Amino acid sequence: MNKREFLKKSALLTLGGAAITTLPINAMKPKIIKRGRKQGEEYLLPELEYAFDALEPNIDAMTVEIHHDKHHAAYTKNFNAAIQEAGIADMKIKDIFANVSKYPIGVRNNGGGYYNHKLYWKVMSPDGGGAPSGKLLKDIEATFGSFDGFKEKLSKAAATQFGSGWAWLVYSDGKLVISSTPNQDNPLMDIAEVKGNPLLTIDVWEHAYYLKYQNRRADYIAAFWNVINWKFVEEKYLKSVEG
Radius of gyration, alpha carbons of the chain: 24
How much is the pLDDT for 36? 44
pTM for the full predicted model: 0.84
**Distance from C-alpha of 57 to C-alpha of 13, rounded to nearest angstrom:** 50
How much is the pLDDT for 79? 98
Write down the domain spans for the chain: 59-243
How much is the pLDDT for 243? 80
Q: For the chain, which ranges sit under pLDDT 50?
A: 2-37
Sheet containing 175-182: give its strands across: 175-182, 165-172, 197-203
How much is the pLDDT for 40? 55
How much is the pLDDT for 38? 56
Residues ≥6 apart with Cβ < 8 Å to 208: 63, 67, 220
| Amino acid identity, position 212 | K
Question: DSSP E strands: which ranges in the chain?
Answer: 165-172, 175-182, 197-203
88 DSSP 8-state letter:
-
CA atoms within 13 Å, Cβ hemisphere of 144:
18
Is residue 42 within 8 Å of 80, Cβ to Cβ? yes
Rounded-to-10 torsion of CA 186, 188, 191, 192: 60
Rounded to the nearest 10 degrees, the angle between the axes of helix 147-160 and helix 134-144 is 70
How much is the pLDDT for 63? 98
Q: Give, in order, the Cα–Cα distances in Å from 41 to each of 31, 75, 80, 91.
A: 21, 16, 9, 10
Architecture of domain 59-243: 3-Layer(bab) Sandwich (3.55)
Is residue 178 within 8 Å of 151, Cβ to Cβ? no
